[in-house]
Amino acid sequence: MMKRLFAVFALLLCLAVAGGISAQDAQSALIVATQLDDVITLDPGRAFETTNLVVHHATYETLLEIRPDDLVTIQPLLATGYTVSEDGLTYTFTLNADARFASGSPVTSEDVRFSWTRLKNIKGNPSFYADAVAAIDTPDAQTVVVTLSAVTPAFATIVTAPAMSILEKAVVVANGGTDAADADATDLANDWLSQNSAGSGPFVLTGWTPETEITMVRNDNYWRAPAALPAVTLRNVNDATTALQLLERGDVDIYENVDKDLAEQISANADLTLEMGQTLNLTYLALSPDATTFTTPLSNRQVRQAIAQAVDYDGIIDGLLLGYADRPASPLPIGVQGSDPAQRYERDLDAARALLAEAGYADGFDLTLYIGTGAPGGIPAETLAAKIQADLAEIGITLEINQQPTSNFLTAFRAQELPFLFSTWTPDYLDATMWSDYFSFADGGLSKRIRMDIPEIAAIAQQAAAETDAAARTALYQQYQTAHVTEAVFVPLFQPQLLYALRSSVQGFSFHPVYFLEFYTLSKG
């Protein structure tokens, strides 16, 4: 009996070893080692995480787009162009008559109306993209007339966001979708759209296995030149060292979000290429100016300015991020309209001590820094907090670090209970309002959470958001940055860069700060 058991066991083992040799097919597909644990759904009307963006960019298309090589120019995609009415409230898009979905059907104005109305009525996390849309008219199959509820110069940029993708109405409806007013309860297309796509992009989604992989194949009906890659697989790999091993052995072609400690090793390997992507993400320090609820010295502007001049920014970027980061002056990241790094704070301990003395805190004071868990922007929260603690100690501020699980931290942050913290902000589209809407007003966004009520900043933000003249708008955002620098309520710590390691056979890499990778332009030699 034991012998037989052994024989079976040995046979299975042989079979298992042999299995390693057979899997040599599908060599031409592109495999990306990444982390898929954030994916909840792949329905463009519901998804609001990170990984879904790269998938949606590959499988769907928007009316307009912003290319990775030019982040300021809005270019045509499904629409050949658009016009804006005199009062700024009506946008008229003309669709490209050649545009086809993967099914072969033409992209029509009704598909646009359906997609955006559905997005809005699902009342999901990405529904805010359609907030500005009051009505959509479709006078003919090629024309879409959008009426906005308020003047929103950012609208053309918002249209480029993956959440504003156009879905093929017939396919979505056939699989349970609806754009009805009660779509939040009656739309049943989520399951289908998480395993399939209904778009016009260069790839078609063929499956998603949670925490395992997302598979896409080339759309052979693509209405422009078809993609070079026959298939793309995003593969979940948790450990950084293992991801590099998979890449070095050629089991994967791209390793996304490379651990910065491995950068040197990758650069030294002739089979691999290291690529860098400058994100528009922000890791910031928030210092509440509120004096009615909070009783910290932070309500004194000079104290906030002193802290902004006490932080050792270069030490953080060079020491903790190995130099792979930039740093803007205000919440507007470098690359955004009106942002100019020249105005940023530099470390000046004498000036910081002088400001503290002037404010009446020559001997310093005690303060609590609230943080969550994880690694905001690439540095473990506790490491970054310890660095800030050491920096502030030099001007006499004794920092206590209060670390909680991120969900507890976010609960307290949203409940307006935290006067001093650091956190991150990532953009969903590239207009400056992506930042100014959230860092300015007493009644909304991150500014509300830390009880910031500074009418000057709010007024500029409001004016800039509604300014339709590009030059005047840039000038307003410059003013906005200056006001922020003076107030030192949100002090940027760094704007991280993402690293990608590629097999040298992979060509055509580009990086986009919203959707990251573009598979359409990639090829494998």
Kindly tell me which residue out of 428, 486, 523, 524 binds other proteins, with binding defined by CB under 8 A: 428
* Of 315 and 414, CB closest to other proteins: 414
Determine how many CB atoms are found less than 10 A away from the CB of residue 335: 16
Per-residue mark of binding to other proteins, 337-376 (x: CB under 8 A): ------------------------------------x---
Least spacing, CB of residue 184 vs other proteins, in Å: 6
Q: In this structure, are residues 458 and 448 in contact, taking their beta carbons and an 8 Å threshold?
A: no
Shortest reach from residue 22's CB to other proteins, in Å: 5
Q: How far is the CB of 325 from other proteins (least distance, A)?
A: 22
Closer to other proteins at the Cβ: 133 or 352? 133
Cα separation, 165 vs 179, in Å, equals 14
The CA-atom distances, in angstroms, between 129 and each of 121, 168, 188 are 12, 19, 21
> Contacts with other proteins in 33-72 (CB under 8 A)?
33, 37, 40-41, 48
Give a three-class secondary structure readout of 129-144: HHCCEEEEEEEECCEE
Helices 301-310, 349-358: inter-axial angle, 10-degree rounding: 160
Q: Looking at 76, 89, 128, 474, which residue binds other proteins (CB under 8 A)?
A: 128
Nearer to other proteins, 340 or 417 (CB): 417
Footprint on residues 3-32 left by other proteins (CB under 8 A) = 5-6, 9, 12-13, 15-20, 22-27, 29, 31
Binding track over 396-415 against other proteins, x by CB under 8 A: ---------xxxx-xx--xx
Of 124 and 378, nearer to other proteins (C-beta) is 124
Residue ranges in 129-189 assigned as alpha helix (H)? 155-158, 169-174, 183-186
Is residue 186 a contact partner of residue 12, using CB atoms and an 8 Å limit? no
Residue nearer to other proteins on the CB measure, 85 or 186: 186
Residues 134-193 binding other proteins (CB under 8 A) are 184
| Closest by Cα among 484, 473, 478 to 439 | 484
Q: How many helices (H) and strands (E) does the chain have?
A: 18, 22
The smaller minimum CB distance to other proteins, of residues 220 and 251, is found at 251
Selection from 267, 279, 220, 213 nearest residue 68 by Cα: 279
- In DSSP terms, which residues pair with 278 in a beta bridge? 497
- Contact residue for other proteins among 77, 79, 246, 298 (CB under 8 A): 246
The sheet carrying 90-95 orders its strands as 79-84, 90-95, 143-148, 133-140
Q: How many of the other CB atoms lie within 10 Å of CB of 407?
A: 10
Could you tell me which stretch among 68-76, 208-216, 454-462, 516-524 binds other proteins (CB under 8 A)? 208-216
- Taking phi over 0 as left and psi of -120 to 50 as alpha, with beta for the rest, 514 belongs to alpha
Other Cβ atoms closer than 10 A to 505: 12
270 binds other proteins (CB under 8 A): no
Contact flag: residue 123 with other proteins (CB under 8 A): yes
Residue of 245, 265, 510, 521 that binds other proteins (CB under 8 A)? 245
Give Cα 521 distance to the centre of its chain. Answer: 21
Count of residues that interact with other proteins, criterion CB under 8 A: 67
Which tokens hold the place of 230?
A: 């026959």
DSSP 492: E
Measured from the CB atom, is 2 or 270 closer to other proteins? 2
The strand pair at 254-256 and 397-403 is best described as: unpaired
- When binding is defined by CB under 8 A, the residue of 143, 147, 236, 521 that contacts other proteins is 236
Q: Which of 69, 87, 104, 249 is the binder for other proteins (CB under 8 A)?
A: 249
- Residue (208 or 477) nearer to other proteins, CB: 208
Q: Candidates 444, 456, 505, 507: give the one binding other proteins (CB under 8 A).
A: 444
Residue 377 to residue 387: CA distance in whole angstroms: 15
**Cα separation of 177 and 61, whole Å?**
19
Nearer to other proteins, 19 or 104 (CB): 19
Interface contacts to other proteins, rule CB under 8 A: 2, 5-6, 9, 12-13, 15-20, 22-27, 29, 31, 33, 37, 40-41, 48, 123-128, 131, 184, 207, 209-213, 215, 233, 235-239, 241-242, 245-246, 248-249, 251-252, 373, 405-408, 410-411, 414-415, 428, 438, 444-445
